[in-house]
Amino acid sequence: MNQKGLLTAWNDTKGFGFITPDGGGERVFAHISSYAGRGRPVSDRKVTYSLMKDKQGRPRAGRFQYAGVARVGASVASGVWMAAVFVLVFFAIQAGLFHQGYLPVSILAVYGAVSLVLFVMYWIDKRAAQRSAQRTAENTLHLFELCCGWPSALLAQQVFRHKTRKGSYQFVFWLAVLSNVGALGWLLMAPEASALRQQLGFDLSRSLQPLVW
């Protein structure tokens, strides 16, 4: 990022804007997928960027981020903290249930392993979006979210600023979250799931009764 300029126009709804180079000249197109900083870009902020050309030969920012004081102020977005707290609370509840004998270690292991894999998948997909390379199918991401990976997906969306502005994606994502949490609750508490609990090596029909009543 050896170029410097001012982000003189930014349409956050559409996710793009323009950078005016410090030395003057033609404005440089900047897309949200190329933003390498934290939070969301705003107008009239100093930025550094790498310069490239689009298919029509027009200048385009390959990667850009805030420069100087603006970069320090945006080092950690509030959304990252909120997502991190949400995820920590969820795993803390799981750890508490495990400690009390209400949750088998196998379920904790599944959530941890799938979450780790999905976090890497989000990072790869973000990099692919920045390079206009082949992307990971959204249905694949949603499948991993449904299969216990949603905690890391929530965090990755904020850390990488990825998929946060697409309403249709967020709708399916939160549907996957609710479905997964609902399935976990059914597994732990529903009388109809007693046979499955026994197959997994735990039976909470008695230990959970005081919690239910």
Q: Are residues 82 and 60 in the same domain?
A: no
Q: Are residues 100 and 177 in the same domain?
A: yes
What pLDDT, on the 0 to 100 scale, is given for residue 150? 97
Instruction: Report the domain count for the chain.
Output: 2
What pLDDT, on the 0 to 100 scale, is given for residue 211? 46
CA pseudo-torsion sign 153, 159, 162, 167: positive
Q: Are 32 and 41 in contact (CB under 8 A)?
A: yes
Q: Is the pLDDT of residue 73 over 50?
A: no
The three-class DSSP label of residue 31 is strand
Mean of per-residue pLDDT scores for the chain: 85
pLDDT tens digits along 6-21: 998 888 878 899 999 9
Radius of gyration of the chain (CA): 22
Domain boundary among 23, 49, 73: 73
Q: Are 194 and 203 in contact (CB under 8 A)?
A: yes
Q: Are residues 154 and 52 in the same domain?
A: no
pLDDT band (50, 70, 90) for residue 213 = very low
Q: Are residues 58 and 112 in the same domain?
A: no
DSSP string, 90-146: HHHHHHHHHHTTSS-HHHHHHHHHHHHHHHHHHHHHHHHHHHT-PPPPHHHHHHHII
Domain boundary among 57, 73, 89: 73
- Mean pLDDT, rounded, for 124-129: 90
Q: Is the pLDDT of residue 129 over 80?
A: yes
The Cα 114–Cα 64 span in angstroms is 31
pLDDT band (50, 70, 90) for residue 119 = very high
Measured CA angle at 153 (ends 149, 158), to 5 deg:
160
CATH number at residue 68: 2.40.50.140
Q: Which domain holds residue 63?
A: 3-73
The Cα 35–Cα 33 span in angstroms is 6
Domain boundary among 53, 73, 93: 73
